[in-house]
Structure 1
């Protein structure tokens, strides 16, 4: 990306070279890359983890290892997926990219390139939210906003694995049906359903134990009214353009907790255990990347422009055949 602005003007194809990877990096030849709302935030200048351009776009990618630094646990020729070194300007919409080694996995058997490319960010974020930051317990009620999106769909699946009763909220019949196929116990359309009444019915008036919120805005404000005493809100993002509005007095009187969720790499041993658990679940078929639209490499600007209102599932860019 060369400047902030509309995706068609901000993104520019350039030729470049890649040096040998530094410690902590793995250089791969990219076959597919995962896409999402952060790409739109980057091009518009609203992504808090990056400064001014130029920098590469694309936070996750899958492909073949071509070079590693001394002491790496990976080797050339291995098939891997991981989070790109995007905070240093390296994005996955490229022939080659540096992955953060601590956030790189060997692709489980049976996982397609598209599934592998869209696996790391969504499931690592869901794990951070539902296990590390606001743990959900078996039998508790978990409401997922934006449940048909790349963040929400992973939380629906992981929530089911963790034993929660999952209530998925989406904004169209197509997306509601998509959430049902993912295994949500209950599906709500925030455009047509009375969310407060339906949540009371589903929870027998008790309210929600945990709200997983990648959306924010008015819909989040509505479901917060249904949070149970001692409940939790996991703030994942603000796809609506605004965070969930919160009233400190309401938080105090109803005794609920609000936590921010940023899936930053922890110490190497802990991070390795997280990725091992996620890859085991993927290998077992318990979780799978909810692949949606797949774009050609030359469609990246159009793909980014669509992320303000994406179709159901995880958007993927096919970089190489």
Structure 2
């Protein structure tokens, strides 16, 4: 592929997959999750990516077909995980390599469609709400872009952690979706005054944690409703630009901002993350909020739509699932 509009830049190629090396698991892909980073990659705006060609799709679920010596997985396991997309192996393919340390066996409660869209969103939400700016039971979590991929995961993880969750989205349809998937309250940032409404919902106190995958003006408005000692969790910039932070405002109102890049620290720590996410899934506390399911031939169209997706996690059906 080349950088540009998905319809012109994405192309189908014949490839071969050598035996997996240490840290890799080769899977036959059933489903793959999609998100805004796919659109950034196609356009050449993803900061961690080199020059094309490369494989698109950060996450996938399917059947293990080959493992290196000493792997904790075996051929035939049904797994979901993060792909080796930074090394050129994306999820929108018949086969792909998953990063073994960021791969789990698919929990019994999880469908293949849910599995395909699980790893990136929930690993990101975990990094933000547990590792970087822990949200505690009884606190207020304000989630921007709450009907989207990482936002939808943050809504559910926040509820599982005991927070009161206020979902922010841009339509009644999306807010209804958020409420159905666990949010306590919804605020339409297009038709309501965001800081005023959050103030009303919190008795004037504001939000303890703001989960921000959106940036721009929406995040700037949300910051007007952050509580004293609050934390802004910087996840992404789906609006096209990061929030403009004001250091003096942070000082005077006593809040902080933390950046989140959900990369493994070490093998043991990463295993603990995935074990906890799998346990939460097994207990029914979290699940992928699947939105539209696309067929493989629709990948360029799907990626183009990730700049303004509908409610829920977009998933691509690669093989029969």
- Give the stretch that moved more between structures: 123-132 or 264-273: 264-273
- TM-score (ref. length: structure 1): 0.99
Distance in 2 between residues matched to 1:294 and 1:161, nearest whole Å: 26
Partners of 2:144 and 2:212 within 8 A in 1: yes
Name the residue aligned to 1:149.
Answer: 148
Distance in 1 between residues matched to 2:288 and 2:205, nearest whole Å: 32
Name the residue aligned to 2:72.
Answer: 73
Partners of 2:155 and 2:165 within 8 A in 1: yes
Distance in 2 between residues matched to 1:285 and 1:196, nearest whole Å: 32
Cα shift readout 1:17-72 (whole Å, capped 9, x = no counterpart): 00010100000000110001000000100001101100000000000000011111
Distance in 2 between residues matched to 1:208 and 1:108, nearest whole Å: 33
Say if 2:50 is the partner of 1:19: no
Cα shift readout 1:170-217 (whole Å, capped 9, x = no counterpart): 000100100110111110111111112111111111111110000001
Distance in 1 between residues matched to 2:284 and 2:109, nearest whole Å: 10
Secondary structure in 1 matching 2:42: helix
- Shift in Å at residue 262 of structure 1? 0.8
Name the residue aligned to 1:295.
Answer: 294
Distance in 2 between residues matched to 1:202 and 1:110, nearest whole Å: 34
Name the residue aligned to 2:194.
Answer: 195
Secondary structure in 2 matching 1:83: strand
Name the residue aligned to 1:240.
Answer: 239
Secondary structure in 1 matching 2:159: helix
Distance in 2 between residues matched to 1:200 and 1:285, nearest whole Å: 31
Partners of 2:109 and 2:281 within 8 A in 1: no
Name the residue aligned to 1:137.
Answer: 136
Secondary structure in 2 matching 1:151: helix
- Shift in Å at residue 110 of structure 1? 3.0
Name the residue aligned to 1:220.
Answer: 219
- Shift in Å at residue 285 of structure 1? 1.0
Q: How many residues align?
A: 320
- Shift in Å at residue 114 of structure 1? 0.6
For the aligned residues, what is the CA RMSD? 0.6
Name the residue aligned to 1:310.
Answer: 309
Secondary structure in 1 matching 2:48: coil
Unmatched tracts of structure 2, length 5 or more: none
